[in-house]
Amino acid sequence: MVNAPDVELSLVVPVYNEAPSIDLFLVEAAPVLEAITPAWEVVFVNDGSRDGTLEAIIAAHGRDPRVKLIDLSRNFGKELALTAGLDHARGRAVIPMDVDLQDPVAVLPRLVDAWRGGADMVLAKRVDRKTDSLAKRWSATAFYGVLNRASTVDIPHNVGDFRLMDRKVVDALGSYRERERFMKGLFAHLGFRQAVVEYTRAPRAAGQSKFRFVRLWALGLEGIISFSTRPLKVWTYIGVAVAAVSLAYMVWIVVRTIIFGIDLPGYASLLTVMLFMNGLVLTGLGVIGEYVARIFSEVKGRPLYLVRGRLGVEDARGRS
């Protein structure tokens, strides 16, 4: 990682089909950044956009070279796009942000003040999520409740990617190179001295959310599997419980047969038990398969992402 002391503050902004939001974001962010320090940069990561996002970023770079670009070769997903931005950001402090301005730029000075006050990582915590749908709020609460019960790492609720990280924290995060990434979990795993800044989440400034239920489900599953082995361990207890019930039932059948004789067994009950047991076996195999699939992905050792082009940023020295 290139450590360039001339850049004090970096914003890392992954974008995918966000052409209408680029200029809106910069109009809001640039004055706030300028008031904090003139030594700032905004690193946009174009994650395979198919609209005019790339052209909008190039035009913005022409107006101000502190606006920079990492153009990925295809869509790798937000987690890897964010990783690419963090790998290339050069600031002494780095803040990942969404381009939709739901994370208000007015919060940036408060994050920087907490960092200058001695915190290595400053978490931006949402205290009001009225802009999210009821289903999304409910599912987020349920997910973090399950995840924190299963995981050995405490992942704060209502804290997303929006946060400030000191250079030493970003460099430490750069050593985490797993292919299947749940960034909120990785952030929590880092530790360091932390502070919390609360804020109210704003509506999107432009465009539409790219997250759908299937993608949220996949991300949630990734978080649980990446930071907990309990889904594997629980099947030991399920197996013991089912075996105990089966043994008790067997004893009851033997005793009943000895006392009352043999009667005709029920086909329906036998079929129900067989289907239930097969369902348990297949579910257990599915859980094992999720872990095996991630092992398969890791051992291939493919690059996390591929960069097609850059504007204003240096190579991450092969750490991609």
Cβ(60)–Cβ(67) under 8 Å? yes
3 — pLDDT class (breaks 50, 70, 90): very low
90 shares its domain with 191: yes
165 — pLDDT class (breaks 50, 70, 90): very high
pLDDT per residue over 189-233, tens digit each?
Answer: 888 888 988 888 766 655 555 555 566 666 666 666 776 677 777
264 shares its domain with 141: no
pLDDT for 1 beyond 60: no
38 shares its domain with 84: yes
Q: Quick one: which H or E segment has residue 137? A: helix 134-150
pLDDT for 234 beyond 80: no
pLDDT per residue over 32-53, tens digit each?
Answer: 999 998 999 999 999 988 888 9
Cβ(294)–Cβ(231) under 8 Å? no
Cβ(228)–Cβ(150) under 8 Å? yes
31 shares its domain with 155: yes
251 shares its domain with 154: no
Over residues 282-287, mean pLDDT: 79
Look at residue 146 and tell me if it is in a domain: yes
- What is the Cα–Cα distance from 152 to 150, expressed in whole angstroms? 7
Domain containing residue 126: CATH number: 3.90.550.10
Tell the burial category of 99 from Cβ atoms under 10 Å away from its Cβ (0-12, 13-18, 19+).
buried
pLDDT for 319 beyond 50: no
Look at residue 319 and tell me if it is in a domain: no
pLDDT at 318: 43
Using DSSP bridges, classify how beta strands 67-72 and 307-311 pair: parallel, antiparallel or unpaired: antiparallel
Look at residue 225 and tell me if it is in a domain: no
Of residues 28 and 231, which shows the higher confidence score?
A: 28
178 shares its domain with 261: no
Tell the burial category of 138 from Cβ atoms under 10 Å away from its Cβ (0-12, 13-18, 19+).
exposed
- The DSSP call for residue 202 is P
Look at residue 267 and tell me if it is in a domain: yes
Q: How many other C-beta atoms lie within 10 A of the C-beta of residue 20?
A: 16
- The DSSP call for residue 94 is E
pLDDT per residue over 74-115, tens digit each?
Answer: 988 888 999 999 999 999 999 999 888 888 888 999 999 999
**Residue 132 belongs to what domain range?**
9-210+306-311
34 shares its domain with 153: yes
| Structural domains in the chain (count) | 2
- What is the Cα–Cα distance from 28 to 104, expressed in whole angstroms? 9
Q: How many other C-beta atoms lie within 10 A of the C-beta of residue 231?
A: 17
